[in-house]
Structure 1
Amino acid sequence: MTTMDVAAPQTESRARPQSSRSVVLDVVEVVEETADAHSLVFAIPADRRDDFTYTPGQFLTLRVPSEQTGSVARCYSLASSPFTDELLKVTVKRTHDGYASNWLCDNVSVGDTLEVLPPAGVFTAKDFDDDLLLFAAGSGITPVMSILKSALSQGSRKVVLLYANRDEKSVIFAAELRELAAAHGDRLTVVHLLESVQGLPTVPQLAALASAYTGHRVFMCGPGPFMDAVHDATAAAGFVRNRVHAEVFTSLSGDPFAEVELPDVDAETGDAASVTVNLDGQEHEFGWPRAATLVDVLLSKGINVPFSCREGECGSCAATLTAGEVDMDNCAVLDEDDIADGIILACQARPRSEKLSVEF
């Protein structure tokens, strides 16, 4: 979207949620992390805390007002940790021609409100039983920071961060990283890779740095070329592929805040598989028509399933397929290891097997 100077709509236009699934959150702090990156800190209403339980590495979807289209939806990773931070924090870095990021950095201040969908995403650390090697570049530090803080709080293993930036002034969370390194000197190692000093990171350079940590589990987030280099470097250094996890960036093309009409799904007509779904501690069994997605079937039955975009672009509806096989039209947000682990997108999944089992 082309960047334009658009007058900020007043709070009144943002005071009511557009969707029954979204929440209007108060901005209680704005932190200028660098000249082009701001963190927005949100308070959570007491009656919605359960909806905003999250796993380190997940993101929030924000509705950003636009005079051209009414609004645009953008996903921003949580830099806060559910184990160390009471409030939610996302960090927004300006991007060239990025309407949403520039609007948020230019217009949002303490006391404003923003409409937000609950946390989602599959780039998460399931436990902290492994030593971690974390790669980040630029604003890719945001979900990595959540994982890093959580690992230091909840685990006892070593954490190594390799963080690439243009120059010293571009380092997001510089002071916080210094404080964490000082407080956890026996466990946390932070290595800064500055283009102004060392040039752009290369595969041989990254492989040499990573080779000392081949027993660690890897998480990476950053621009595409950086992630490609880290993939090549970790492969060259001998890392096992299923221990290397990458955030996958996608752009939302639809409006996840739009109210959804309940789909008309009739399990009694046409070919249908049998599925057992475990969701929020409850087990549901029903017929799953082969032409329908799992999200549509659940919605048609009045079951409150997590979802946002319904286009396979955000990962909000990620679930684990524990039995059976499915087909998915768009699953680019999942990496090979996610799929190998049985992760599916319920908004894209259609049954291939006769009997299936799914856990959210």
Structure 2
Amino acid sequence: MLPVLNGDCISINFLGNDQNRHNIIIDGGFQGTYQNTLKQEVQRVKEGEELIDLLVVTHTDQDHIGGIIKLIQDYGEEGLIKKVWYNSSSGDPNLDFSGMISIKDGIKLRELLLELGFLEDIQITNELDSLDLAGAKLSVVSPGSKELDRVIDEFEKFSSEESMISLTEPDHGFSVERLIENEFNEGDQLYNASSIGLLMSLCDIKVLLLSDCVPSVIIKWLKEKGYSESNKLKVDYMSMPHHGSKRNINDEMISLIECENFLISANGLNRYNLPHKESLARIVHSSISSNPKFYFNYDNEVLRSIFTKQEIEDYNISCFYGDHSKNGLTITN
């Protein structure tokens, strides 16, 4: 998980069943974080004479798409990228969007991908067949086709959608017991409901990568696949959706999953006050894990003070932190 402020940029490198190294990059952080994070990672791929086998752009929030545009501009013509998954933006590029959602950037990326021949005429939804990439199986868990169609039809709603998060007060000073009493509110997160979420399986390892996905879409997919409280989806790692936002994880979703390792891409020092302790509190207070482990891609006092020493002891919590000098947090299996 690369350190891209309150954004997302995940690089996956694995040995395929063809005995070659393969790379999947999911999102690119902000344009301003690209030079010192994603570009370094792409150089590693290039210098190792490897390829980016799959580049996934989950949606067009600035904290996800900004670095991707720079990546395509720098490397799009070098033959380094084999395949791109992106539900391209349409709409009026002259609309003024003041929030995080960047329709202009989405359209710009679409034009770049079209020019270079990367854009396939398919929708990346959970109705798509799983992709086998040298033994790694990738299944799309979000969005559904209905959510994606609504987004395409209703762009005008998005300019104010992120304002609800920006007004959220810090909650790190409250106890786990106090926070789990709060009523969950997913709100009208239409745009986040269109985020691409993935389940990746390789050998006996499963990773659930949820970008900015919303619980209602994930719950629907899980139930359609036959998962329940008595038959949970067992994964080794799960990325906390929307950087640990309290609006993107609820008790019902947690009840359908079994996991011990939770990935959080957020620096704690942002106007959205992400990650929210309430989302982490729901994890530690549930039966999803007896020893929840949280992996942060930053290391600072804000993140280290989310849980009290007593809470860490009471709930058997473990926390791990990234190293900015090493380009974030690396997990090796």
When the two structures are superposed, what TM-score results if normalisation uses the length of structure 1? 0.30
Structure with the bigger percentage of helix: 2
Structure with the bigger percentage of strand: 1
